[in-house]
Chains A and B, each alone.
Chain A
């Protein structure tokens, strides 16, 4: 069931079009990277670190190279000496002198079969000096802790990150005087929460295929960010970006896990060394432990002071995030987490300190709404604890404290029109909050927010002689359908049909730079560029028609495949007639919306996320059933209220919500990476790392709150991909706490943890 609340601005009627890549996907004819084969291709395998933290004393590839069928073995000595990374450049392709987590790569092998490549990788002799593994990311910031990167100060970095020793990033949100206000509060509650790391788990394990042609390399890869992959290959191979072409075949999901450059460099190096095409396909186990992308573990401490009527007067928080071994593209996490620790609440005085610490664990980087689900889970439980201390209903506390039009955010960003409170009202209405339930069931509620990201993008729209057209975009389709929706928008602007347009995408040689599939920003930025290019080509068509029809351009309109005179539709020329006789191609980027102004002078570690552009707001209400004897939680129903601006494709948008909720339920009760005492994953497989299955998934209802927000994206839209997995775990937690009478403060809330809490009178945590 879906419901909608709408503003009055008029846009074209939303269309749930069938995705243009759909037919090849259901017929099995579409090609993903692992489906590709090049003549003479070799197979790649990696030799990973045998110890999560160790110094390399000797790497001997002699036996591997001697194995029949092995064509090339590559180590650090065989590639340019280049450090790479996002805000901190701290990583080599192949370990130079130290390995820092179990997925660090010491060598790569290219061989005639996959089996030979893996055998050869095992034959590489590596001698180590084992170093103490720093797995406790909170203790890592102690003065006496060994350093994950002893040479950290020498790295190139964004100076605003705020690195010191093992703390790679440090950020604060400071507003008013939190200490003084806390001292004057009527009620103060405190809470400490811990989260385990979580994985993205796209069903397609990643694959990379590279082929050199002279000094140029073409890389087919399952990435969400082809342009970042291109620049990474260029940097690590020591060649210009113009000599690197990255093509993404169909992409089998990403969820952030396939953001950032990485393995494209290793495979390009192997292909160069072997002078043959080389293909890498990850096993499921590698997809767990070797990738530099997981949702990080956190330790979160909150303290909130309120007046008796619920007014929030002060928030203090200390957040410690596990960065793992390398920065990757997750350098901004400390600040993003700090903003979520404030939440979309009215609070006059705030002091949040957020530490992003190196460890010898797997690197953390973006997974769907990075940092938000864990922080929201903790904060929303903390808010329920405050409601309890105040003797207020948790929904009533949120009604009083969530932001609305005219309110100030944590950095004094003033909110324009926002639909947050309506997402709350609609969610509790949809689920029947307050109704009588069996004593093993309860309803929990959680709210949150997430920004839109304004970044450059560019597109071309070119008309073909037969009157059809091709959209050339740098956008990356991850499955959401955001790219697939482009022909509909272009067709509407040109008075044509969606099926008249094809899309050329996922090829870095074809389209201008694009950020790729990350930050829920494909429609926000890439469609903005496409619409700008469409306006360009529309003007060209009108100019040509104006000459032919001897009419003023402003008197012309594009309708049903024609350019016609307004009010006199019989005076027209077919677009196909124009295109048969001329060249029409538009280009565009569109102006970037400005971020809202803030007053954040007291904050450090400012990386741009202190201002939330066109924020998306949401509330989930969740009904759960808890078996007190076993601790097993079943999520029965989720009602999701979302202000993602105008909904442009109802089926596609609902698909994002459903998928996000189910991912959120996994994060809540079953998904968590377990580490051994040196940071190795204990459950790198789908049998022990439990995804939610079809029979576990609950009834899900959606309420769209379609508020027109200034600085929103095309046609009043905001992002939608990341938010739906943010509040679910918090709502589940609050429902569980209602049933068992105590909060479960360790995520995921597994049966063991729920049972222990339900059966512990003093509230001690497992």
Chain B
């Protein structure tokens, strides 16, 4: 069954016609066309698909589109200010937090939400906060350094 709804993604309103059971990740990636969000497992295990809903991180692969209607959705494309990277995006690059980049959008969303809650974290707190995001390239070292570095900035 098709349903019409309006989604607010990164400050822009999108009118979409979707299947009622469509996941938020599919709608944002395929219907709206913002492909920065990645799908690595479709099962809430890898964290690559994370988005912010009113500032709270969710696995968008396991979140119905219709649940997000009426809320502010932020994807990785919404983290920078135009072409100006956020401190966290910059520190991911300078600290070696990006290799293949496929986990990066989810990591950035997770870390953005975490730093908003805890602007001065310990390393252990960072590690626990990111433990729902899998990375196969970096051994997490550059990512953890990046989050701590951004917190200091």
Contact = CB atoms under 8 A, between A and B. Distances in A.
Interface stretch (A21-29, A121-129, A230-238): A21-29
A30 interface: yes
A203 B37 CA distance: 13
B101 interface: yes
A467 interface: no
A478 B40 CA distance: 16
A569 to B, nearest CB: 33
A307 B124 CA distance: 48
16 contacts: A19-B93, A26-B98, A28-B76, A31-B35, A32-B38, A204-B100, A253-B102, A284-B42, A284-B43, A478-B100, A479-B99, A479-B137, A655-B139, A663-B139, A693-B132, A693-B134
Interface string B81-116: 000010001001111101111111100100000000
B153 to A, nearest CB: 15
A410 interface: no
Contacts of B85: 23, 26-27
A30 B17 CA distance: 26
A478 B136 CA distance: 12
B96 to A, nearest CB: 4
A456 interface: no
Contact of A284 (B41, B92, B96, B102): B41
Contacts of A30: 101
Interface of A: 16, 18-19, 21-23, 25-32, 34-35, 37, 201-205, 250-255, 283-284, 478-481, 651-652, 654-655, 657-663, 685-687, 691, 693-697, 700
A32 B100 CA distance: 10
Tell me the interface secondary structure of chain A in the complex. Answer: loop
Contacts of A481: 99
A700 B99 contact: no
A202 B144 contact: no
B143 interface: yes
Interface centre among B38, B96, B128, B133 (most CB of A within 10 A): B96
A695 B22 CA distance: 32
B66 interface: no
Contact of A203 (B93, B103, B124, B128): B103
B9 to A, nearest CB: 12
Interface residues of B, number: 55
A685 B38 contact: no
Contacts of B127: 694-695, 697
Interface string B16-44: 00000000000001100011111111110
B53 interface: no
Given A203-B103, A479-B99, A253 B45 contact: no
B98 A19 contact: yes
Contacts of A663: 136, 139
A250 B102 CA distance: 9
A686 B33 CA distance: 27
Given A21-B101, A26-B93, A480-B99, A659 B45 contact: no
Contact of A29 (B77, B102, B126, B137): B77
A655 B138 contact: yes
B118 interface: no
Interface centre among A18, A35, A283, A661 (most CB of B within 10 A): A35
A29 B122 CA distance: 31
A477 to B, nearest CB: 9
A654 B41 CA distance: 28
Contact of B34 (A28, A283, A652): A28
A403 to B, nearest CB: 28
Given A22-B101, A686-B134, A697-B139, 20 more contacts: A18-B93, A18-B94, A27-B80, A32-B38, A32-B102, A203-B103, A204-B100, A204-B102, A252-B102, A284-B40, A651-B96, A655-B138, A658-B139, A662-B139, A694-B126, A694-B133, A695-B124, A695-B128, A697-B141, A700-B139
Contacts of B68: none
A479 B100 contact: yes
Interface centre among A22, A23, A685, A691 (most CB of B within 10 A): A22
Interface of B: 29-30, 34-43, 45-46, 48, 75-77, 79-80, 85, 89, 92-96, 98-105, 108, 124, 126-128, 130-144
A305 B22 CA distance: 64
Contacts of B128: 694-695
A624 to B, nearest CB: 17
Contact of B38 (A18, A26, A252, A693): A252
Given A27-B80, A253-B100, A479-B99, A655 B137 contact: yes
A334 to B, nearest CB: 28
B26 to A, nearest CB: 10
A21 B100 CA distance: 9
Given A693-B131, A697-B127, A659 B99 contact: yes
Nearest to B139: A658
Nearest to B37: A28
Contacts of A37: 30
Contacts of A23: 85, 93
A700 B127 CA distance: 14
Contacts of A27: 36, 76-77, 79-80, 85, 89
A93 to B, nearest CB: 26
Nearest to A691: B134
Given A23-B85, A204-B102, A659 B137 contact: yes
A487 to B, nearest CB: 15
Nearest to A724: B139
Nearest to A654: B96
A35 to B, nearest CB: 4
B35 A203 contact: no
A660 B140 CA distance: 11
B41 A685 contact: yes
A658 B136 contact: no
Interface centre among B89, B101, B105 (most CB of A within 10 A): B101
A21 B142 CA distance: 17
A250 B144 CA distance: 23
A203 B96 contact: no
Given A655-B142, A697-B141, A25 B98 contact: yes
